[in-house]
């Protein structure tokens, strides 16, 4: 019984490796990368990050707290960092 379970797990691992290799070859031949989804629903693609000028944390512009300072748009990780920046530049 234990041997059958171990053989089944081994076959699953081999099948997964096989399909990963075939998928990589097909992606390479197609020229356009497929979008994969990583753990937590985050897409596996390059996303431009911006740096919070107060604490230095890198944030996604879509999810960040933003502030327009003159002609420049700044992105912050939280409202606390935004308020610290406002107090510092005022």
Report residue 6's pLDDT band, with 50, 70 and 90 as the boundaries.
Answer: very high
| 52 backbone dihedrals φ, ψ, rounded to 5° | -65, 125
Asked if residue 3 has pLDDT above 80, the reply is yes
By CB atoms closer than 10 A (0-12, 13-18, 19+), residue 54 is: middle
Of 73, 76, 70, the C-alpha closest to 51 is: 76
Overall pTM > 0.95: no
Cα–Cα distance measured from residue 72 to residue 81, given in angstroms and rounded to the nearest whole number:
17
35 vs 87 pLDDT, higher one? 87
Enumerate the domain spans of the chain. 2-37, 47-89
pLDDT at 41: 58
Q: What is the largest CA-CA distance in the chain?
A: 73
Q: What pLDDT is stored for residue 75 in this prediction?
A: 93
pLDDT digits (tens, 9 = 90+) for 17-63: 999 888 888 877 776 555 555 556 565 567 788 899 999 889 988 88
Separation of alpha carbons 21 and 72, rounded Å: 45
């Amino acid at each position: 019984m234990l041997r059958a379970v171990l053989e089944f797990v081994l076959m699953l691992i081999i099948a997964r490796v096989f399909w990963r290799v075939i998928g990589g070859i097909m992606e390479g031949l197609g020229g356009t990368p497929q979008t994969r989804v990583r753990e937590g629903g985050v897409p596996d693609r390059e996303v431009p990050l911006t740096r919070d000028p107060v604490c230095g944390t890198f944030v996604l512009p879509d999810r960040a707290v933003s502030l327009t300072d003159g002609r420049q748009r700044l992105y912050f990780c939280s409202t606390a960092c935004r308020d610290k920046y406002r107090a510092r530049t005022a």
